């Protein structure tokens, strides 16, 4: 029941971020708004249907991340650079759905400065032995945005409920990253 409650908290968190991105595009009157609505539709479809399943294909999770990043890049344009490294043959693996998105959402919420042109982040996802290693590195904003903090705590609780002590979630600041 607790895992289900945490899973339900993901949907509003995601929706707020996605609609803020779409709102910014509409205010700017950019033609990309129609494409953003389509991406948002795909994201919502995945969240509502596949996000409620016990397992999701890693390839589907990667597609979800790509759509989310594409939607956000419509908002930030050339002011943000992203580098992504994905595992070979991701369709061979399954994970609980919507675990990976939280860190990418945090990049756009806390790590992208809308006033700067030098925003950047990296995503690395790889299988190492019998583990999935997921690393997200982003440049820090000059001024860290405040928020409810639900994302990381929700992720940690979900991981604990799913894996007990058989996971590592580690965050740190090193220089401006």
User: In sequence order, what DSSP letters do the residues of 98-118 get, joined into one string?
Assistant: TSSHHHHHHIIIII--TT-S-
Task: Tell me what pLDDT residue 97 has.
Answer: 92
In contact, 101 and 14? CB cutoff 8 Å: yes
Averaged pLDDT for residues 28-49: 76
Lowest mean pLDDT across 23-27, 58-62, 154-158: 23-27
Task: Tell me what pLDDT residue 7 has.
Answer: 58
Averaged pLDDT for residues 160-168: 94
- Token pair for 110: 């806390």
For all residues of the chain together, what is the average pLDDT? 82
More confident residue, 132 or 8: 132
More confident residue, 51 or 19: 51
pLDDT band of residue 65 (cuts 50, 70, 90) is: very high
pLDDT band of residue 51 (cuts 50, 70, 90) is: confident
More confident residue, 149 or 110: 110
Averaged pLDDT for residues 150-157: 86
Averaged pLDDT for residues 164-177: 91
Averaged pLDDT for residues 150-169: 91
Alpha-carbon distance of 117 to 138, in angstroms, equals: 14
Cβ-proximal residues to 121 (8 Å cutoff; 6+ apart), any chain: 80, 81, 82, 83, 107, 111, 112, 136, 137, 138, 139
Q: Is the pLDDT of residue 31 over 80?
A: no
């Amino acid at each position: 029941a607790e895992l289900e409650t945490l899973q339900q908290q993901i949907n509003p968190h995601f929706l707020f971020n996605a609609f803020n991105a779409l709102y910014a595009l509409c205010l700017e009157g950019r033609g990309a708004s129609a494409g953003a609505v389509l991406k948002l539709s795909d994201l919502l479809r995945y969240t509502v249907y596949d996000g409620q399943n016990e397992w999701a294909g890693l390839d589907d999770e990667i597609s979800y991340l790509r759509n989310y990043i594409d939607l956000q890049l419509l908002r930030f344009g050339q002011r943000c650079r992203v580098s992504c490294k994905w595992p070979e043959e991701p369709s061979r693996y399954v994970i609980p759905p919507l675990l990976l998105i939280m860190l990418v959402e945090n990049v756009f919420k806390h790590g992208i400065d809308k006033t700067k042109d030098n925003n950047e982040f990296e995503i690395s996802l790889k299988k190492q032995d019998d583990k999935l290693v997921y690393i997200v590195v982003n440049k820090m904003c000059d001024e860290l945005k405040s928020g409810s903090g639900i994302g990381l705590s929700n992720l940690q609780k979900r991981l604990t409920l799913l894996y007990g002590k058989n996971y590592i979630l580690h965050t740190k600041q090193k220089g401006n990253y």
